[in-house]
Structure 1
Amino acid sequence: MKRALTILSLILITISCKNPKDNAVIQGKVENEQIAVVSKIPGKIAKLLVKEGNFVKKGDTLAILDIPEVDAKKNQAEGALLSAKAQYTMAVKGATTNQILQLEAKKQGLKEQYEFAQKSIKRLSNMLKDSLVSQQTYDEAFAKYQGAQAQYNAVIAELNDAKKGGRIEQQDMALGQQERAIGALQEVETANKERYVIAPQDMNIETITLSIGELALPGYTLFSGTISNGTYFRFTLPESKLNKIKKRQEITVSIPYLNKDIKGTITSIKQLSAYGSIATAYPDYEMQESLFEIKISPKNSTESKDLITKTTVTLSL
């Protein structure tokens, strides 16, 4: 009889030990979305405008870099653009007002010489018919007439070119130089903006890696922290318990150190590829089972914004 009672007691103890696994309390961690702010161009830290522990908003300036090379290139680009604009304006508009006036005066003088030579050749032509002048005298006068005509036509062409501007090829070349100078200046201005290290979104500054005067290289993390309203809960479950949850399911997470519950929604379920990523301190699973990371986002971000990262949370399944 005693032996039967002993066996029955062992069976009851075994059952009582197994029952908690069916309604196990799963441990997890409070996590927060991480963010890193890096430098895009090399430069020394000139100013740090925030401290570790500060909360900053998107667009706030976190630091200012000293980049002497950009200042020098900006002056060069501005000078090149000024010169290119002048070249293009000259190609399009042609000569200046004073140059036009000088050519107009030259044209008027050559016109008078041409008209005088034209009258002279007409008189000599009549006199040659009456044998009043020799052929040589007429030929000399005719040569002067042709010279005056050529000079007059040349100054007319020169004046027209001056008024119209340079050839279309010259204008295109000058325009290309101007556009290239504009592009170079825009490139320098873009680099100049990068001296200001800007917060990409609302975040809490946790770590500042460099001090004033230290060199920041491209891609180097200057600030790291957590995203505002980026708190979530992470649990590790074996595949045998996946039948108790589903994506977008509402669920209650307990915060032991605050003795409070927070309602959340399961936002992702993904397989873990490394045991080092397990969030549960003492997971109850068989070694052959696959493990899954469960991410739960709080329904009310206000309730979770002050939770301490990496503290323990629990989930009853």
Structure 2
Amino acid sequence: MDQRKKYILMAVAGIFVVLASYFLFEHFMYVQTENAQVDAHSVLLSAKVPGYILEVKAQQGDRVQKDQVLVQIDDRDYKSLLESAQSELLSLQARRQDAEKNFRRIKDLYASSVVSQQQYDTAFANYNEVKAKYDSAAARVAQAQLNLESTQLKAPSDGVIARTSAEIGQLAGAGTPLVGFVSSSSRWVTANFKETEIADVK
């Protein structure tokens, strides 16, 4: 055997020894098991407002992104309620502005002793009454807007649909569970080891 072949054989043997040593190191330094599974916390997503389900946009096993619409509840009545509340608010806004303008005028006149205490009290009471109605209408608009947005059941984060009980045409009450959801951040691996291997787990 010439010198060149001898060097080649020695190099191959050296590589083999290195690879064998690496795999032996992996085997003895790290405990392995095939008895493991991925676990996760599943949460139920429920309808926030009552209504008939128009669309089911995600099925079991689907991967979804944060704020993706999963279930759509009929929103026509909620849109009508919002429009009605907004119309009332607009009307009261004009009345509030008129009442406020009148009160400021009476207040200035009262300071100059041009109008009576009774006229001042009447203007002040009228302004407060209209303002209270306006504030109440504004609150109804905010609630109507929230209810309309709640007709869409959305994914709270990136994740996977574990199961769904929503069906098109179903009448869902507020609080009715519709979707089982698993967040991408709430999964972990559960591994089972033999009692003799526990000491080697780090």
**Structure 2 length-normalised TM:** 0.63
Q: Which residue of 1 aligns with 2:73?
A: 65
Correspondence list, 1:224-235, <5 A = 224-234=180-190
Q: Describe the SS at the equivalent of 2:183.
A: strand
Deviations 1:9-28 (A, max 9, x none): xxxxxxxxxxxxxx9x7955
Q: Is the 8 A contact 2:56 2:166 kept in 1?
A: no
* Structure 2 residue 146 is matched with structure 1 residue 190: yes
What is the CA–CA distance in structure 2 between the aligned matches of 1:78 and 1:225, rounded to whole Å? Answer: 35
Residue number among 143, 150, 160 corresponding to 1:204 in the alignment: 160
* Structure 2 residue 78 is matched with structure 1 residue 75: no
Q: Describe the SS at the equivalent of 1:46.
A: strand
* Structure 2 residue 38 is matched with structure 1 residue 38: no
What is the CA–CA distance in structure 2 between the aligned matches of 1:26 and 1:47, rounded to whole Å? Answer: 41
Q: Is the 8 A contact 2:37 2:191 kept in 1?
A: yes
Q: Which residue of 2 aligns with 1:102?
A: none
What is the CA–CA distance in structure 2 between the aligned matches of 1:88 and 1:225, rounded to whole Å? Answer: 47
Instruction: Give the deviation of 1:31 after TM superposition.
Output: 1.6
Residue number among 61, 72, 90 corresponding to 2:98 in the alignment: 90
Q: Is the 8 A contact 1:42 1:67 kept in 2?
A: no
What is the CA–CA distance in structure 1 between the aligned matches of 2:60 and 2:181, rounded to whole Å? Answer: 9
**Aligned amino acid, residue 200 of structure 1:** P
Instruction: Give the deviation of 1:45 after TM superposition.
Output: 1.2
What is the CA–CA distance in structure 1 between the aligned matches of 2:184 and 2:60, rounded to whole Å? Answer: 15
Q: 1:26 to 1:204 in 2, by over 3 A?
A: closer
How many aligned positions are there? 159
The sequence identity of aligned pairs, in percent, is 19
Q: Describe the SS at the equivalent of 1:174.
A: helix
Q: Which residue of 1 aligns with 2:170?
A: 214
**Aligned amino acid, residue 46 of structure 1:** L
Question: Cα RMSD (Å) of the superposition?
Answer: 3.5
Q: Describe the SS at the equivalent of 2:66.
A: coil
Question: Unaligned stretches of 5+ in structure 1?
Answer: 1-22, 96-155, 251-317
Instruction: Give the deviation of 1:46 after TM superposition.
Output: 1.2
Structure (1 or 2) with the larger CA radius of gyration: 1
Q: Describe the SS at the equivalent of 1:94.
A: helix
What is the CA–CA distance in structure 2 between the aligned matches of 1:186 and 1:168, rounded to whole Å? Answer: 27
**Structure 1 length-normalised TM:** 0.42
Instruction: Give the deviation of 1:58 after TM superposition.
Output: 1.0
Structure with bigger RCO (C-alpha 8 Å, 6+ apart): 2
Instruction: Give the deviation of 1:235 after TM superposition.
Output: 5.5
What is the CA–CA distance in structure 2 between the aligned matches of 1:206 and 1:29, rounded to whole Å? Answer: 16
What is the CA–CA distance in structure 2 between the aligned matches of 1:219 and 1:71, rounded to whole Å? Answer: 21
What is the CA–CA distance in structure 1 between the aligned matches of 2:133 and 2:36, rounded to whole Å? Answer: 63
